[in-house]
Amino acid sequence: MPAFAGGGRESEGQSKMEKAAVLIHSRTRYRDYRQKFLVRPVDMEETQIYHWRELVQRCTVCPEELRRTRKLRRAVISADGYIAVGAAGYFRDLYPAAFEDEGGRPVQGFVGLVWKREDMPAQLYFPSVQVFRSAVTEYMIPRWEEPVNCLDGEKASFSDYRDRREDGGEWGWPDSPEEEKGLEQALRQAKDGEDVFFCAGLPAEEKRKEEGGRKGEAAKKESAGQRHASLKAAAAVCLICAAVMAAVCLFGAQGRLRVLTGVLAGLFVLAWGWETVRLVCGGRQTKKSPAGEICEMPRKDRRKGEEEGRCGDDIYLL
């Protein structure tokens, strides 16, 4: 039976996933992965798109595991006012078609259902595989053969919120008891309004990296905040000293002392300018890139890493 949150297991009569949009991150035969998804909810904003792209990418790390097991990873994600349940892996394992790019390589990605948190269904559960196959049929198949020079090829298709038919079937890939428990807990947390990221089937090494990454990100933010405060204080001190030296030079000093205080005032002005530049540049460095990338390699190196099945430092990101 599918994992469920909201009062029990899915009933036999369940026939639809209420008011859900579709989210698909995939390349097509001739075009690489889109920066803003192949398909996304119609109301997802720019900053939310890049954040969700990072979250979705975490579900597809270590593709050699996906190739070896031929198993899809179930995911529950709750962030930025949205909740999603989805499947990550090679599309050939989800859908009865090859889904190979122009070089004959199988394509991996993510397909999921998305709800706005305020419109979340009363019963939140993980649907059968047929729901995701239907989303691929409706949105991905029509765009699969888009040529490289297609004018709108880089643009996402928009998915509205509507009822998605559910056949009441099973998921199709067995998960361990621990993964089932984790999935049910993630569904409960998402239903309670918490921000959640859970992906069943991630290698243990990647789970440790995920936990370490969250701690490291928090430490980076704290360190950046401390550095920002220190630079502001240094700039303020330099500006005050420059003002004092200038006042002494203009109104209280004569002869050599006046020259000396003038020189000191000029030096403090230069120091203040330098600290201000560091402050501005330091603030920019702490921001994410516009594309929201996290450890992206050049396309050629990414493809090489994927073909060789490398993981660890050479994570294959879509």
Asked whether the predicted pLDDT for residue 210 surpasses 60, the reply is: no
pLDDT at 169: 63
Rounded to two decimals, the pTM is 0.64
Are residues 20 and 105 located together in one domain of the fold? yes
Are residues 196 and 209 located together in one domain of the fold? no
- Would you say 29 and 142 are in contact if contact means Cβ atoms under 8 Å apart? no
Helix (H, G, I), strand (E, B) or coil at 292: coil
Are residues 242 and 312 located together in one domain of the fold? yes
Are residues 185 and 246 located together in one domain of the fold? no
Summarised one tens digit per residue, pLDDT across range 74-132 is 999 999 999 999 999 999 999 989 999 999 999 999 999 999 998 888 888 888 899 99
Domain that holds residue 317: 205-286+293-318
Are residues 63 and 103 located together in one domain of the fold? yes
- Please name the residues in contact with 69: beta carbons below 8 A apart, sequence gap of 6 or more: 201
Are residues 136 and 235 located together in one domain of the fold? no
Are residues 240 and 263 located together in one domain of the fold? yes
Summarised one tens digit per residue, pLDDT across range 263-286 is 777 787 787 777 777 777 654 333
Are residues 183 and 310 located together in one domain of the fold? no
Are residues 60 and 97 located together in one domain of the fold? yes
Are residues 51 and 187 located together in one domain of the fold? yes
Are residues 27 and 14 located together in one domain of the fold? yes
Of the residues 202, 220, 252, the one at which a domain ends? 202
Whole-number Å distance between alpha carbons of 94 and 220 = 38
Task: Point out the least confidently predicted range of 79-83, 95-99, 152-156, 230-234.
Answer: 230-234
Are residues 197 and 217 located together in one domain of the fold? no
pLDDT at 225: 66
Of the residues 177, 202, 227, the one at which a domain ends? 202
Of the residues 202, 237, 268, the one at which a domain ends? 202
Number of domains in the chain: 2
Q: Where are the alpha helices (DSSP H) in the chain?
A: 46-58, 63-69, 91-94, 129-135, 177-191, 204-251, 255-285, 299-308
